[in-house]
């Protein structure tokens, strides 16, 4: 699934069938190349973060959670990643050898596990397992 397809997706509680929020962003831990949390907007609860383990499913039409109580304030790694400098989209994509290979236009991820499959650029894709880190102006991947 592409990040661009996931943005704006409704998050539904399976216990009440009520909307608890809308997907606004993904918090990706570059060290593990995995989504650790989903940032929400228009939430009905006390927070704006849905930690990945609390998801019931990230489906083709909706994201489901067991109840609205799993929407909280970011904690742990998710709290550390919730800044503008850790966002991957729109940043330059560089290899660890310093070669620029494009700009991150989209992110392909496995909706079941949250694993980053690929970083998409205008010219193609870079395997997610090459992801090393993300700084304030660039995303770094292993040289191929």
- CATH at residue 130: 2.30.30.240
Query: Which domain, by its residues, includes 111?
Result: 86-141
132: nearest Cα among 124, 121, 123, 143 = 143
Whole-angstrom distance, CA of residue 77 vs CA of residue 90: 22
pLDDT tens sequence across 51-63? 999 999 998 899 9
pLDDT over threshold 90, residue 13:
yes
Which of residues 81, 100, 132 is at a domain's end? 81
pLDDT the model gives residue 85: 62
For tokens 């650029």, the residue is 121
pTM of structure: 0.90
pLDDT of residue 84: 59
What pLDDT sits at residue 101? 95
What is the DSSP-derived secondary structure letter of residue 32?
A: T
Distance CA 47, CA 61 (A): 23
Q: What is the pLDDT of residues 22-73, one digit of tens each?
A: 999 999 998 899 999 999 997 766 789 999 999 999 988 999 999 999 999 9
C-alpha triplet 65, 71, 76: angle, nearest 5°: 115
- Same domain, residue pair 77 and 103: no
């Amino acid at each position: 699934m592409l990040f661009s397809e996931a943005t704006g997706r409704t998050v539904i509680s399976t216990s009440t069938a009520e909307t608890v929020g809308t997907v606004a962003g993904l918090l990706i831990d570059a060290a593990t190349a995995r989504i650790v949390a989903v940032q929400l907007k228009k939430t009905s609860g006390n927070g704006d973060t849905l930690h990945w383990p609390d998801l019931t499913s990230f489906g083709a039409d909706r994201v489901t959670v067991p109840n609205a109580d799993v929407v909280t304030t970011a904690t742990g790694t998710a709290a550390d990643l919730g800044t503008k400098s850790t966002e991957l989209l729109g940043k330059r994509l560089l290899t660890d050898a310093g070669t620029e290979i494009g700009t991150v236009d989209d992110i392909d991820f496995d909706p079941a596990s949250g694993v980053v499959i690929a970083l998409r650029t205008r010219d193609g894709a870079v395997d997610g397992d090459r992801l090393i880190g993300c700084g304030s102006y660039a995303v770094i991947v292993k040289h191929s």
